[in-house]
Structure 1
Amino acid sequence: MYSPFLICLYIFCLLVFIFAACETCLPHDEERHQKEVTRYPVLLQTHLFRLIPPTLFGLILPDDMQVNPVYVESVVVLAVVLCVHMAIWNQHSWCSIALVIQAFYVQHKWDRLLKSGAAVFQFRLSANSGIVPASMVMPLMGLVLREKCSASGNVYFERFSMVITITGMMLALFLSLIALGVTRPIPTNTCIIAGLAGSAILYTTKQTLTVSEVIEVLEVLLIFVYLCLIVLYLLPRCFTPGEALLIVGGISFILNQLIKRSLNLAEVKGDPVNYFLPVVVVGSLLLGVFFALLFCFMESETWVSSLFFHMMTAVLVLGILMPWLSLFIGRHPIMWLLDFVTLNDRRLCLLGYWVFLAIVATCVVLHQNYQRQSGSKKHQASTVVRKYFHLIVVATYVPGLIYDRQLLHVASVGCLAVFLLLEYVRYFRILPFGQLLRQLLTLFLDERDSGPLILTHIYLLLGMSLPIWLFPGPCAPKGILTGAGGLVPYAGVLAVGVGDTVASVFGSTMGEIRWPGTRKTLEGTATSVFAQIIAVAMFLIFDGSINLNSTYSWIVGSITLVALLEAYTSQIDNLLLPLYLFILLLL
């Protein structure tokens, strides 16, 4: 449809425009500007390259190999946006380009606020704001889901996907508005760019959504505002602005959908499996907020408080969540679960296998804790040891993906509920296991766990499970997608379980050539891509439902893009990488 020359020219022009923003977003420094110009005197004599800001040459041809990783991260995200735009090419894909451009401008404002300490809340240390990658997840996901649902003729989910796209754009614009509102002096150029992008998105919203759908978007935005105030106040330094946008935005959307369906049970339809996740997420949120507010006024480390915690948890689960869930599935959840897991012998074998792996993981934790107690008090689990858990999770998920995805869906939701409950017990020091969990989990802390919560293991679970939970089953004939879409449920296993694990292990043990501006190594990224390609070949052998047709080059390109994002992002890669690979494979 489009010639390769036009596509390359289009991408080149957008890259020039994005990097031209560096000259206006950053303070003008004549000495630095002159240094960049004199660094490449021959190249700058041509008429074409006089149009490009010297900042771009500082990225491509660094003198001391010190590249700003934020720029490279933005380029990778832009490449993903362009891939989606070229494949879909509609009003919303054009709006996604406008959104990523304004997010690039606003990200620098957020980064300055974080460095100066002028942000309203305390965000996670040792990371940038992450606005660009986080802002694009929901809009791009809605775009690709809409394309699949449109191709299958599912009008309901096509409209639903459109709501996801607009909601993601509105949440990103709201976060941009906050940054621009607290920045002093007011950044005029950035305000103009954000205003133009916002105007285009609002106009598209008016043209494509109905009144009821617009109200639904506004409801999510309202919930997002209140949840952000609560979560960021109660959990300082746990999230970057981008991570808060991604996590709180997702929870807000789920909460709104659950309330909407609870008020209109006549329209409740679909697989009962799909209702477990919303109820667990909302129930865990209510439980956490309730006890966080309660323990502000009373001591949580006493036996009386601990007994009250266990009693209220039982009341919430048995008295509220179970009846709530029974409204959606039409049966008592426990009886439904018993019939579900005992449906055939294969499910019982899978459950037994997963219990065995859970025991192995527990033994690894206890062994590492014993080494710390018998050795140095400062003993900390190495990167290689932490990646053992990635391998255990891969061994857990792959058989479930091949043999019974519905069981894996329910089991992963149950595991999420258990992880969140154990984190509450650890955080509030609930007797008798609170202090023990603190000792065991502290061993596996890394620089990303700078807040009061330990979220690394929860992010790992989310990264592996999100592609399964988000799989567009109603838009897939017989639950199977052709081409690269057949690998969509495996996106978490590929990006986190295989790619991130191999990159970390090989990069930390044998890597010598570092990517400019980051601690990640070229060897780690290369082995990551190679290992994921091998994993795809293995999935083709054992999973007969996958039919890639002629999409091999697209799969390799998608894996490479996500591997580059892993090398340069400072956000939670366990959460971000599977979502971007999910988007690319679904195209």
Structure 2
Amino acid sequence: MLTNPVLVENAAIMLTNPVLVESLVVFSIVLCVHSVIWNQLSWCAIALAIQAFYVQHKWDRLLKSGGAVFQFRPSANSGILPACMVMPLIGMAVKERCQDSGNVFFERFSLVVTATGMALALFLSLIALGITRPVPTNTCVISGIASSAVLYTIKQILTVSEVVEVLEVLLIFVYLSLILLYLLPRCFTPGEALIIVGGISFVINQLIKRSLNASEAKGDPVNYFLLVAVVGSLLLGIFFSLLFCFLESETWVSSLFFHMMTAVLGLGIILPWLALLIHRHPIMWLLDFMLHSQTRIYLLGYWVFLAALASVIVLHQNSKRSSMSKKHQASTLVRKYFHLIVVATYVPGLIYDRQLLHVASVGCLVVFMLLEYVRYFRIRPTGQLLRQLLTLFLDERDSGPLILTHIYLLLGVSLPIWLFPGPCTPKGTLPGAGALVPYAGVLAVGVGDTVASVFGSTLGEIRWPGTKKTVEGTATSIFAQIIAVALLLIFDGTVNLNTSYSWIVGSITLVSLLEAYTSQIDNLMLPLYLFVLLMI
């Protein structure tokens, strides 16, 4: 059989380009999703992926030439394609589940999520095309066709009020992007900014909507706690960032002002805001919630022990640094200790009390953000100490003024729990592979990424072309996640996979391949893609 040497050479070049292989994996995930879910939005999603693939190269060129307006995270590609597909795929997967359960309200809500994700992706593409010189004619044509398809479909499936909601999120996204990308240079790639700022923009819009209808507010207080905590913490950060542009943050006077204003804003604005939504005093509600059962008390005590253990690890690793090795960084193995602690934290919570885990993870996010503010602004008395302690655990992705790795880890394991469509699951769990949806973060980050990193760095010899990741690391990652699923079948009685084993193995394999080739924050990206694949 004759083969074309040019085609063989082109294929070899493609396989050595990690960006192209990453794109191929993302396209495979998109096609897998739409092999199960095919509706009016499917063509739009595929068109969006194609145009994002072309636009990604324009963003990559802008990043290399320094023409991307803002300073993005170096040593990584733009990540536009994987980021553009996250929110639309999540919306479509959740919509399918809500449609099956007959929950019309959340089905419409999921449509808004999908349309919003597509609108944000198109907006980011428009920016790239607008600042690229010379104007990329072919890419503009492809983006125009994709945009026309998306806009026409949105017009057909959304009501006027839902379209307005999408535009509101887009407007918030524009202003919030300008603020965060200016205040936090080199912290994100364009793709990471799309996911993070897009998600925050959606949360802000939802909180505003529900606050305006507070008298009619219904629903689980746990969900309102998430909205208020995220928005409140973000507003604190923006407020102090603007304030300390004019004040020296390292003095005792500024530090005292920081603590006072945090207390004033927390007790005077954030807590009353939450009380307005849940129609109860937040502190009393939280105490009643935590002390509701003996199981919750045991879990809280166990989590306090693990938090103390993590603190001891940080202190111990710092104590090993001598004055001659100030530039010493913690090894990969040491950093993965925290992944194991996260697994030990989340698995019991997922098995015994998911609502408590939901609230505790939100509270932990708030604490992490406040501690990062203290570290970043060097607030006395602990700011400088935190800066010294956490410097040991920096990696190449912490290239900006903020240290976000630990926050990304928390988000990675928590997002599948926060995004889980509880109202669309009358029995509290989904059938088949869907039963593993809350475990998506634990599997992808806590187990898969940890095993891949440890085994790949210690035993790996065969590297994936164009990357530092190894075939051995990926293979052991897949195997470890399959073993973890088998253990969950034993210990979690709500997990009943029926005949979906092949789909689970395929999903884990695709996400593990994405981990091997992506240069984006894997703690954030991998759980979301595994969430989508398991949800359908």
Q: TM-score, normalised by structure 2?
A: 0.99
| Aligned 1:355-374 pairs, distance under 5 A | 355-373=304-322
| Aligned 1:413-424 pairs, distance under 5 A | 413-424=362-373
Deviations 1:389-417 (A, max 9, x none): 00011000000000000000000000000
| Aligned 1:34-183 pairs, distance under 5 A | 42-44=2-4, 54=6, 57-58=8-9, 60-62=11-13, 67-183=16-132
Structure 1 residue 488, shift from structure 2 partner: 0.3
How far apart in 1 are the matches of 2:62 and 2:2?
A: 38
**1:292 equivalenced with 2:241 (yes/no):** yes
Structure 1: unaligned runs, 5 residues or longer: 1-40, 46-53
Question: Helix, strand or coil for the counterpart of 1:192?
Answer: helix
**1:479 equivalenced with 2:428 (yes/no):** yes
How far apart in 2 are the matches of 1:418 and 1:43?
A: 59
CA contact (8 A) 2:217 2:278 kept: no
* Matching residue of 2:282: 333
CA contact (8 A) 2:56 2:81 kept: yes
How far apart in 1 are the matches of 2:37 and 2:477?
A: 29
How far apart in 2 are the matches of 1:164 and 1:282?
A: 18
Question: Helix, strand or coil for the counterpart of 1:61?
Answer: helix
CA contact (8 A) 1:125 1:237 kept: yes
* Matching residue of 1:239: 188
Deviations 1:194-249 (A, max 9, x none): 00000000000110000000000000000000000000000000000000000000
**1:354 equivalenced with 2:303 (yes/no):** yes
* Matching residue of 1:21: none
Structure 1 residue 66, shift from structure 2 partner: 6.8
One of 385, 390, 399 as aligned partner of 2:334: 385
CA contact (8 A) 2:15 2:21 kept: no
How far apart in 2 are the matches of 1:161 and 1:237?
A: 32
**1:407 equivalenced with 2:367 (yes/no):** no
| Aligned 1:250-289 pairs, distance under 5 A | 250-289=199-238
One of 400, 405, 414 as aligned partner of 1:451: 400
More displaced, 80-89 or 100-109?
80-89
* Matching residue of 1:439: 388
| Aligned 1:430-579 pairs, distance under 5 A | 430-579=379-528
* Matching residue of 1:342: 291
Structure 1 residue 374, shift from structure 2 partner: 5.7
How far apart in 2 are the matches of 1:94 and 1:383?
A: 42
How far apart in 2 are the matches of 1:374 and 1:289?
A: 36
How far apart in 2 are the matches of 1:480 and 1:473?
A: 8
How far apart in 1 are the matches of 2:493 and 2:21?
A: 38
CA contact (8 A) 1:85 1:94 kept: no
Structure 1 residue 88, shift from structure 2 partner: 1.2
Structure 1 residue 57, shift from structure 2 partner: 3.8
Question: Helix, strand or coil for the counterpart of 1:373?
Answer: coil
Deviations 1:478-529 (A, max 9, x none): 2111100000000000000000000000000000000011110000000000
Deviations 1:350-409 (A, max 9, x none): 000000001110010001111113652222100000000000110000000000000000
CA contact (8 A) 1:59 1:67 kept: no
Alpha-carbon distance change, 539 to 179 in structure 1, aligned in 2, over 3 angstroms: same
Deviations 1:140-178 (A, max 9, x none): 000000000000000000000000000000000000000
Question: Helix, strand or coil for the counterpart of 1:81?
Answer: helix
Question: Helix, strand or coil for the counterpart of 1:372?
Answer: coil
One of 302, 305, 310 as aligned partner of 2:251: 302
Structure 1 residue 327, shift from structure 2 partner: 1.4
Alpha-carbon distance change, 316 to 58 in structure 1, aligned in 2, over 3 angstroms: farther
CA contact (8 A) 1:357 1:392 kept: yes
How far apart in 2 are the matches of 1:84 and 1:553?
A: 15
How far apart in 2 are the matches of 1:473 and 1:249?
A: 22
Question: Helix, strand or coil for the counterpart of 1:326?
Answer: helix
CA contact (8 A) 1:139 1:168 kept: yes
Alpha-carbon distance change, 59 to 336 in structure 1, aligned in 2, over 3 angstroms: farther
Structure 1 residue 464, shift from structure 2 partner: 0.5
Amino acid at match of 1:124: R
How far apart in 1 are the matches of 2:176 and 2:9?
A: 41
CA contact (8 A) 1:58 1:67 kept: no
CA contact (8 A) 1:84 1:93 kept: no
Structure 1 residue 59, shift from structure 2 partner: 5.6
How many residue pairs were aligned?
536
CA contact (8 A) 1:95 1:201 kept: yes
Amino acid at match of 2:420: F
How far apart in 2 are the matches of 1:141 and 1:342?
A: 34
Structure 1 residue 42, shift from structure 2 partner: 4.2
Structure 1 residue 61, shift from structure 2 partner: 3.1
Taking only the aligned residue pairs, the percentage that are identical comes to 79
Question: Helix, strand or coil for the counterpart of 1:460?
Answer: helix
* Matching residue of 2:263: 314
Structure 1 residue 58, shift from structure 2 partner: 4.1
How far apart in 1 are the matches of 2:222 and 2:236?
A: 22
Amino acid at match of 1:43: T
Question: Helix, strand or coil for the counterpart of 1:380?
Answer: coil
How far apart in 2 are the matches of 1:480 and 1:369?
A: 43
Q: TM-score, normalised by structure 1?
A: 0.90
CA contact (8 A) 1:372 1:380 kept: no
More displaced, 131-140 or 366-375?
366-375
How far apart in 2 are the matches of 1:111 and 1:153?
A: 43
How far apart in 1 are the matches of 2:215 and 2:55?
A: 43
Deviations 1:519-552 (A, max 9, x none): 1000000000000000000001000011100000
Structure 2: unaligned runs, 5 residues or longer: none
Question: Helix, strand or coil for the counterpart of 1:528?
Answer: helix
How far apart in 1 are the matches of 2:489 and 2:312?
A: 33
Question: Helix, strand or coil for the counterpart of 1:91?
Answer: coil
How far apart in 1 are the matches of 2:134 and 2:441?
A: 42
More displaced, 467-476 or 365-374?
365-374
